[in-house]
């Protein structure tokens, strides 16, 4: 197909990454003597980037800007260790991407995930596909809605 492009989100669209996110944040919470959450709870925390996930996972008494910033940094360290815990592309993703690639559809990824982590995941799990761009949270650009 000429001049057709598809832009995908990453988490919850191409790959199931909830376990790594939940495990990483729960590790931070438990290391700081805070209550952890079920994996299911994290579905409600997703959609606005990791910093917002941290905010939602923290107890209300720790949601001031300084605490969120501190725990966000801790979460990034934890997530760099566990981001791929039980991570896998959803069923049918490879077949769909194969079809688009065969049709000549241009593809890109735009995610609220940290851009460096998004690129690592895309390379490791979707590296056989030629994504024109992988755009994530770089701390400068505003996250997607």
Is 137 assigned a catalytic role?
A: no
Please tell me whether the overall predicted TM-score, pTM, comes out greater than 0.75 for this model. yes
> Is the CATH number of domain 5-15+89-137 3.40.1190.20?
no
In 73-122, beta strands by DSSP E? 88-89, 106-114
pLDDT tens per residue across all 145 residues of the chain:
578 999 999 988 999 999 999 999 999 999 999 999 999 999 999 878 788 999 999 999 999 999 999 999 999 999 999 989 999 999 999 999 999 999 999 999 999 888 988 999 999 999 999 999 999 988 787 777 6
3, 9, 11, 137: which one is catalytic? Answer: 9
Domain with CATH 3.40.50.1000 in the chain: 5-15+89-137
Task: Give the CA-trace dihedral at 39, 93, 116, 78, to 10 degrees.
Answer: 20
Give start-end residues of each CATH 1.10.150 domain in the chain. Answer: 18-82
Name, in order, each residue with C-beta under 8 angstroms of 65's C-beta and a sequence gap of 6 or more: none
CB atoms within 10 A of CB 45: 19
> Can you name the CATH fold of 18-82?
DNA polymerase; domain 1 (1.10.150)
From the CB of residue 41, how many other CB atoms can be counted at a distance below 10 Å? 14
Contact call for residues 23 and 85 (beta carbons, < 8 A):
yes
């Amino acid at each position: 197909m000429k001049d057709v492009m598809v832009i995908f989100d990453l988490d919850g669209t191409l790959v199931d990454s909830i376990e790594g996110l939940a495990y990483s944040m729960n590790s931070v919470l438990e290391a700081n003597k805070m209550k952890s959450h079920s994996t299911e709870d994290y579905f409600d925390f997703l959609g606005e980037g990791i910093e917002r996930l941290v905010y939602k996972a923290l107890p209300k008494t720790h949601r001031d800007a300084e605490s969120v910033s501190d725990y966000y940094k801790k979460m990034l360290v934890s997530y760099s260790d566990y981001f791929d815990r039980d991570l896998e592309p959803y069923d049918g993703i490879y077949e769909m991407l194969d079809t688009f690639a065969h049709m000549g559809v241009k593809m890109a990824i735009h995610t609220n995930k940290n851009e460096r982590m998004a690129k690592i995941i895309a390379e490791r799990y979707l590296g056989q596909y030629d994504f024109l761009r992988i755009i994530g949270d770089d701390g400068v650009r505003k996250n997607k809605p």
